[in-house]
Amino acid sequence: MMLPWIILIPFIGGLLCWQADRWGDKAPRWIALITMSLVLLITLVLWLDGDYHLPTLTVDSGAVRWAIEWRRAWIPRFGIDVHLALDGLSLVLIALTGFLGTLAVVCSWKEISHRVGFFHLNLLWILGGVIGVFLAIDLFLFFFFWEMMLVPMYFLIALWGHSGSEGRTRIRAAIKFFIYTQASGLLMLVSILGLVFAHHAATGVYSFSYGDLLNTRLSPELAFWLMMGFFIAFAVKLPVVPLHGWLPDAHAQAPTAGSVDLAGILLKTAAYGMLRFALPLFPDASALFAPVAMALGLVGIVYGAILACGQQDIKRLIAYTSISHMGVVLIGIYSGSALALQGVVLLMVAHAFSAAGLFIISGQVYERLYTRDMNRMGGLWGRLGSLPGFSLFFVAASLGMPGTANFAGEFMILFGTFPVAPVTVMIATTGMVLAAIYSLLLMQRVYYGPTRGEVRLGGLDTREFVMMMVVLVLVLLFGLYPQPLLDVTGATMDEIQKLFSVALSHAPATLLTGVVQ
Amino acid sequence: MDVSLLLPLTFLLPLLGTLILSLSCGRLSEPASAFVGVVSVGLAALVTLALSLGFDPGAAARTETLWTWIHVGDFQPTIGLALDGLSLTMLGIITGVGFLIHLFAAWYMRGEEGVTRFFAYMNLFVFSMILLVLGDNLLMLFLGWEGVGLCSYLLIGYYYQHAENGWAAFKAFIVTRIGDVFLAIGLFLIFRELGTLNIARILERAPEVWASGSTTAELAALLLLGGALGKSAQLPLHTWLADAMAGPTPVSALIHAATMVTAGVYLIARLYGVFELAPDVLWLVGLIGAVTLLMAGFAALAQTDIKRILAYSTMSQIGYMFLALGAGAFNAAIFHLMIHAFFKALLFLSAGAVIVSCHHEQDIRRLGGLWRRLPLAYGGFVIGGSALAALPLVTAGFYSKDEILWQALASGHQGFMVAGLVGAFLTSLYTLRLIIGTFHGAMKSDNARNAEPGRGLRHGLPLVVLAILSTFLGAWIHPPLESVLPGSPGEGVEAGQTMLELMASATALSGVAIGAWLFIFRRDWLARQVTRPWGIRLWTLWNAAWGFDAIFDALLVRPYRALMRWLKNDLIDGFFNLLAGIARLLNLVLSKTQTGRVRTYATSMVLGATVIMLVLAFGL
């Protein structure tokens, strides 16, 4: 009974926040904080209590094992259930959602001053939707939550966002975000329906259940196109170049909490979707597609990094670095190596922390300087108290400094992928230089150079300091001892790896030509 | 105390220093910060002393696994330490010389803004550098490797108010990171081939898996070399070191002379087993060393900034170490590494003393005549310079450099030896030019005339101790490397060694003699030559260190910036925005038709109906 509650708590909390608006600004903030802390607490209890070492399974046994499962019929006629399940992977991501949700509430404590209740309703509903995505294993339900996340995010950007220059209004960014994700979501819906019909054709039963659909017999062509539907939907969200256009705008225009959620968890739903659905449902087609996906990952790494260097807006810069980092994740997902897959989980968590840290910092800089334009910064080392120190740390994390979780994740991916695709890894490794360039450019433009103005801008208050410190400690902790995390996700990732590597080994090259013709 | 307790203490103490300093959030006073910074490294030096007292050079490496870093399948790098003769030697240099430099820095940095920040970075550097040399696996080594790079970046850009310092730091980090990419790929390759990252296991497995001279072995060695070139500022990744002098002088002494820049030498010596399986790459190591030492020697001749002269000299001396490695004389390379740490730290600290005394004037054209005013710094320069120029018998540098030349000859690398001899001549020449320019002749600016000599223990003690270590007394320190590194090629061979010693001594002395003749007696003639067309050209070329910066600028920096500017507005996104634009355009056009006038609607309806009828009728 725990699972539906994890989803329901943020939704209920959101409604309460909305109504609590009438008692002033403080009430919704506290309610939201308590709500997200509760979610975090529940996941931590589940983490400590549960056993996520799934019994080793042979791939063809077909059974899917979950640590906790919850199922109620919803639309029996079409085999649609409210079917939630938890394993190590989803647990880690939900814990991440709980943590970043709490962080998002805390970091917008002073930033948001109008319609506070409604803001927190949207914030909590996004988080509820995300948790739903991580738990739903009925494909219809999954799609429901997938679309569900978008609407409150749209409002978050459109109502509380910042308008940039050159016609980059927050409304436009919100619409762009919505259209990109909505259009790609529809492709996924088509694929889901196609899969269900194919399953019906083979067995005569309608079912949207993950377990049932997992071993559907599909012709290679059909499998390929269905897989593409899923892939494109996830590729937009990850984002994969060339489908990334919404991300920089959305980030630049979103309020800090929105950026934190966007970079920290919304992007991770895409990687989760690939790991949970695109690979296991279509292992053969995915194996065929792997080289293309890896190439796209490479393009993302390089393209994102180069564009990041050219940005003036600090948040746009960070947004493009996300694209670059997600390129590495994409390569890891399609490598079919257990080490790389574990690295993917670690890098996702690490990137969530480091990107959140950087976005919070840019929010804090904004609150002090009222600009996000790096041309108007410079020489800030001595004027911001301990903020430069934290910036330095998160910049170091984003450039993959050993000791941070980002390094551990990235290098696990590269170590794991190297035996499979050495050339890909070699090119991906040059991303280390590119990452250094954009990261240090950020430092250079914001902190070096002559001081402009004598006024000390005020360091961090206790709330900001504690918030940054917690994230910093977590990045270091997972960087130097990621084992607790890896142990929890180990069994799940092993299963995905086995499924995928079997497909990789017997995927005849001719199939691809069959698809192309 | 037990080794397993002492060993982690060596790096935990500097780490503690960093933590205290960085968590103090500016609440510590300047003396308190300096105290924490210096004492933490001092204690680490004491721990190292305790370790070396109980060290048995014959025993196997002492390993200490703290915990398993990552454990996925076969991938199990640990947070593990290993202490053997090589790491103990490095540890001694890092904490010993490091302590002296920290002490000096407490004098040098007084009254500067952000002393806490300075010592926090310095301690963090010592911490990372210790991890680099103590790590028992390559991932740990990489952790320290990147950590020292970051600290180097931070300390070069320490005077952040000048944006160009930031850019110098930026350049240092990026150029070394290019080397790191090779190192990282080397790690991937080694793990794929040998299934381990543990250094001892690698040395064990490599000869079993790789045949000598096999492509994979050569490739692995080449990739490792790439990393070493970046960190140790060797051709072609050397361009960052001269600019790195933007940092405070103690930083240049510690990071860019004594410790971090020698990490590449350490890496190659540490993985000598891999390089021995790759004879071609090993030869390349020596060649790069030889070319670099000559290139940097000429460049040092045409600099005017004290610190830049010393920077090129460092590059050149590391070239000697690479040359030794290339000749297979790993012992000689590490011995020179140690001696170089002594005399180059001395030179940099003396330079620091001059710079602070002369109100941050560091151009030798504006100094001069300081020998009476700054006797201690002068003494440091003379002793350090003699060691650098390897004056025979009395200096430490003589013993270490001579060893390298001898091993090069004994291993049959005459070319390396000749390059080394030419380099030795250049070394004497530029060292003399530096000392004469700074300390003799007329005082050429007010800054020099108003020089205030440094006082106090923090200023004097480091200079004196390092000066003693730079004499033949320093050469008595014998790094316990026998059980770690293979024997030298010249072992047991006697013939020709005395001859070579005489040749080397003659070269160094003739360099000094010719230098004295040129810079003292033929000053005006020399000045005239430099103003002639060929003189100007040569000066410009050497002053720009053979123009590598311009080459990289044209080949890499400018194309990258052009690409950056070209893509700045995200072309791909632009394409999708174009779609949106078209949709909006269509909307504009079509909404024009919505005039609200019944007449127009009726006309268009009739027209439309007609067209459809026609289509149906004629089946168009």
Interface test with A, best of B191, B569, B573 (most A CBs within 10 A): B573
The answer to whether A330 and A295 are in contact (CB under 8 A) is no
| A447: chain B residues, CB-CB within 8 Å | 160, 166
The Cα diameter of chain A in Å comes to: 76
Does residue A166 carry a pLDDT above 90? no
Give the closest-approach CA distance of B281 to chain A in angstroms. Answer: 20
Q: What is the mean pLDDT of residues A247-271?
A: 89
d(CA A232, CA B273): 48
User: Is A393's Cβ below 8 Å from some Cβ in B?
Assistant: no
From the list B71, B146, B192, which residue is nearest A483 (CB)? B71
* Chain centroid offset of residue B428 CA: 23
d(CA B35, CA B13): 13
- DSSP line for A21-89: GGG-SHHHHHHHHHHHHHHHHHHHHHHHH----PPP--GGG-----SEEEEEEEEGGGTEEEEEEE-HH
| B580: chain A residues, CB-CB within 8 Å | 176
d(CA A416, CA A436): 22
- B576 and A245: CB-CB below 8 Å? yes
With cut-offs at 50, 70 and 90, classify the pLDDT of residue A164: low
User: Is A389's Cβ below 8 Å from some Cβ in B?
Assistant: yes
Instruction: Specify the residue for token string 């939704």.
Output: A11
| B153: chain A residues, CB-CB within 8 Å | 440
User: Is A396's Cβ below 8 Å from some Cβ in B?
Assistant: yes
| A450: chain B residues, CB-CB within 8 Å | 161-163
The answer to whether A97 and A131 are in contact (CB under 8 A) is yes
For position A54, what pLDDT does the model report?
Answer: 61
- B564 and A310: CB-CB below 8 Å? yes
| A391: chain B residues, CB-CB within 8 Å | none
Beta bridge partners of A373: A313
Helix (H, G, I), strand (E, B) or coil at B87: helix
| A459: chain B residues, CB-CB within 8 Å | 25
User: Is A338's Cβ below 8 Å from some Cβ in B?
Assistant: yes
- Residues (pLDDT < 70) of chain B are 1, 492, 620
For position B612, what pLDDT does the model report?
Answer: 92
Q: Closest residue of B to A307, CA-based?
A: B568
- A436 and B166: CB-CB below 8 Å? no
Closest by CA position to A479, among listed A409, A419, A387, A405: A405
- B163 and A450: CB-CB below 8 Å? yes
Give the closest-approach CA distance of A236 to chain B in angstroms. Answer: 12
Write out A310-362 in H/E/C secondary structure: CCCEHHHHHHHHHHHHHHHHHHHHCCCCHHHHHHHHHHHHHHHHHHHHHHHHH
Q: Which A residues in the span 455-494 are in contact with B, Cβ-Cβ below 8 Å?
A: 459, 480-483, 486, 490
Q: Which A residues in the span 426-445 are in contact with B, Cβ-Cβ below 8 Å?
A: 426, 429-430, 432-433, 436-437, 440-441, 443-444
Closest by CA position to B167, among listed B235, B249, B246, B260: B246
Amino acid (one-letter) located at B459: H
From the list B70, B160, B177, which residue is nearest A432 (CB)? B177
| A378: chain B residues, CB-CB within 8 Å | 163
- A448 and B563: CB-CB below 8 Å? no
| Claim: this prediction has a pTM higher than 0.90 | yes
Does residue A516 carry a pLDDT above 50? no
The answer to whether B149 and B176 are in contact (CB under 8 A) is yes
Helix (H, G, I), strand (E, B) or coil at B398: helix
d(CA B120, CA B23): 10
d(CA A431, CA A426): 9
For position B25, what pLDDT does the model report?
Answer: 73
Q: Closest residue of B to A449, CA-based?
A: B163
User: Is B157's Cβ below 8 Å from some Cβ in A?
Assistant: yes
With cut-offs at 50, 70 and 90, classify the pLDDT of residue A55: low
Beta bridge partners of B79: B67
Helix (H, G, I), strand (E, B) or coil at B493: coil
β-pairing, B62-68 vs B78-83, is antiparallel
From the list A378, A401, A441, which residue is nearest B146 (CB)? A401
Give the closest-approach CA distance of A107 to chain B in angstroms. Answer: 21
Here the tokens at position B328 are 């297979």
Residue B562 makes CB contacts below 8 A (sequence gap 6+) with none
User: Using one digit for the tens of pLDDT, what is the confidence trace for A414-442?
Assistant: 999 999 889 999 999 998 999 999 999 89
- A303 and B191: CB-CB below 8 Å? no
| A482: chain B residues, CB-CB within 8 Å | 70
For position B486, what pLDDT does the model report?
Answer: 82
From the list B26, B73, B185, which residue is nearest A338 (CB)? B73
Q: What is the mean pLDDT of residues A259-282?
A: 90
Within 10 Å of residue A22's Cβ, how many Cβ atoms?
A: 9
| A419: chain B residues, CB-CB within 8 Å | 192
User: Is B588's Cβ below 8 Å from some Cβ in A?
Assistant: no
Give the closest-approach CA distance of A307 to chain B in angstroms. Answer: 6
| A307: chain B residues, CB-CB within 8 Å | 564, 567-568, 570
- A415 and B75: CB-CB below 8 Å? yes
Torsional class of A403: left (φ above 0), alpha (ψ -120 to 50), beta (otherwise): left
Within 10 Å of residue A517's Cβ, how many Cβ atoms?
A: 6
Between residues A513 and A109, which one has the greater pLDDT? A109
User: Is A165's Cβ below 8 Å from some Cβ in B?
Assistant: no
**Average pLDDT value over all residues in chain A:** 87
Interface test with A, best of B12, B69, B70, B575 (most A CBs within 10 A): B70
| Contacts across the A-B interface (CB distance below 8 Å) | 144
For position B55, what pLDDT does the model report?
Answer: 84
Does residue A187 carry a pLDDT above 50? yes
Cis peptide before A242 (omega within 30 of 0): yes
| A232: chain B residues, CB-CB within 8 Å | none
Q: Closest residue of A to B164, CA-based?
A: A449
For position A514, what pLDDT does the model report?
Answer: 38
- B166 and A449: CB-CB below 8 Å? yes
Give the closest-approach CA distance of A256 to chain B in angstroms. Answer: 23
Q: Which B residues in the span 160-199 are in contact with A, Cβ-Cβ below 8 Å?
A: 160-163, 165-167, 169-170, 173-174, 177-178, 180-181, 184-185, 187-189, 191-192
